[in-house]
Amino acid sequence: MTKALTRVRFGEFLRPNSRPYTLGPAEDANLVGMRLYGAGPFHRELKLGAHIAKKTHFVVRTGDVIYNKLFAWKGTFGVVPPSLEGMLVSDKFPTYALDETVVDPQYLQWFFRCPPLWEQARAMSTGSAAVSKLTLNPPKFLLLEIPLPTSLEEQRQVVSHLNGLAAQIAEARGLRERAIRGRDALMASALESRLRSIPVTARLAHYLVAPPRNGWSPRCDNTEGGTAVLSLGAVTGFRYRATEFKRTSLPVREEAHYWLRPGDLLITRSNTPDLVGHAAIYSGTPNPCIYPDLMMKLQVREQDADPRFVWYWLQSSVVREFVARNAKGTSPTMKKISQRIVSQIPFPVLSLAEQQRIVSELDTLQTQADQLKRLQEETGTELDALMPSLLSRAFGGEP
């Protein structure tokens, strides 16, 4: 890696190459979008002509340098790949021809992923980020600077070095993902082996204080100080996610049924086939909190059933198969279960003491799995931070 870097303005190697194109009255359009943080352009959608009000667009070609004026401060820079050849963009996506005798395209693509560039763009942008109008206009774009080695060969050496590091990071990510799948499979296997052999002779309704009840889904405007309302994502993968909520400023009733208390058991009544019927225990955060209409609250009769045992049981293959058979909906991607179906979920007849013994066993395994998960998350965080650090070093001239 070289330390001999010279800062060069984009205008010295980029030339505007706008290609206006007017769509016909009923002509459809393959539109290109830009991912954040240097991840580059992608095929956003095929938009029907009837839904396109503004007919003037611009054609992109392979090798074009492109950026999004409104989100340059978030790294919306890239080079058009062959897969997007001939697609269209709006005037929010200026394009440029690259002088490859000055800058290697791959070197430029790596620089687009470099946080100091995004900070340059933020400093030169005008407007308000709060309303997505922090704009980097083309004249300012050409004033951005890139640190360049003294030769193309040295640029290619930097590219080769970064490609090698990226491959190693990708391999580490792959190992981490396999470890996560293995952890999840191990926990699922342990849970299944413990629950599968239990005779099932009752229904869940026999262990509930009252029938399952839907919550309330008020209009959410996220007004500061508004009441928290859980989003559907708060109950996913049989885990409770306390960050998944919105806020409503609508009036609420203190005596209403839709309030949550710590320890309440929730089950989703509408979701994708794999996620419908997932359950989780409300942790008490946020507080106060409303659960939505797409969930039901299960009030367990605790003198006969341990709520954590019910939660574990709802994860068993017996229940998942029952939910899959009974979930309804015309859409293949969205299914629903009714209060009646939830009440009829098969349930074992076990003493409270036996339920609690099983819960203790599974909690021990769950604690170990959660500890492993935290370690894996820490590893993921370290991997996420590694590439920006490497890029800062590479484009700062460090070895």
Q: What is the pLDDT of residues 184-214, one digit of tens each?
A: 677 777 778 878 778 899 999 999 999 999 9
In the prediction, which pLDDT does 98 show?
97
CB 92 within 8 A of CB 136: no
> Could you tell me which residues are beta bridge partners of residue 40?
35
Among the residue ranges 119-123, 218-222, 289-293, 394-398, the one predicted with the least confidence is 394-398
Give the residues across from 281 on adjacent strands. Answer: 265
Local structure of 44: helix, strand or coil: strand
Please give the model's pTM, rounded to 2 decimal places.
Answer: 0.57
Instruction: State the pLDDT at residue 210.
Output: 94
Which pLDDT does position 209 carry in this prediction? Answer: 94
The reported pLDDT for the residue numbered 399 is 44
8 Å CB contact between 182 and 139: no
Q: What is the mean pLDDT of residues 361-372?
A: 80
Q: What is the pLDDT of residue 52?
A: 87
User: Could you give phi then psi for residue 297, rounded to 5 degrees?
Assistant: -100, 135
Q: Concatenated DSSP letters for 96-155? A: EEE-TTTS-HHHHHHHHT-HHHHHHHHHH-BS-GGGT--B--HHHHTT-EEEE-SSHHHH
End-to-end CA distance of the chain: give it in Å, rounded: 5
Q: What is the pLDDT of residues 75-113, one digit of tens each?
A: 999 999 999 999 999 999 999 999 999 999 999 999 999
d(CA 54, CA 34): 19
How crowded is the C-beta side of 44, counted as CA atoms within 13 Å? 14
The whole-angstrom separation of Cα 393 and Cα 16 is 30
DSSP 56-92: EEEE--TT-EEE-TTSGGGT-EEE--GGGTT-EE-TT
pLDDT tens-digit series, residues 216-260: 999 999 999 999 999 999 999 899 999 999 999 999 999 999 999
Shortest CA distance to 145 belongs to which of 357, 340, 396?
396
The yes-or-no verdict on residue 1 having pLDDT over 80 is no
- Of the candidates 304, 344, 348, the one whose C-alpha atom is nearest the C-alpha of residue 327 is 344
Answer yes or no: are the C-beta atoms of 57 and 88 closer than 8 Å.
yes
Considering the chain, what is the average pLDDT of its residues?
89
Instruction: Give the per-residue pLDDT at 297.
Output: 97
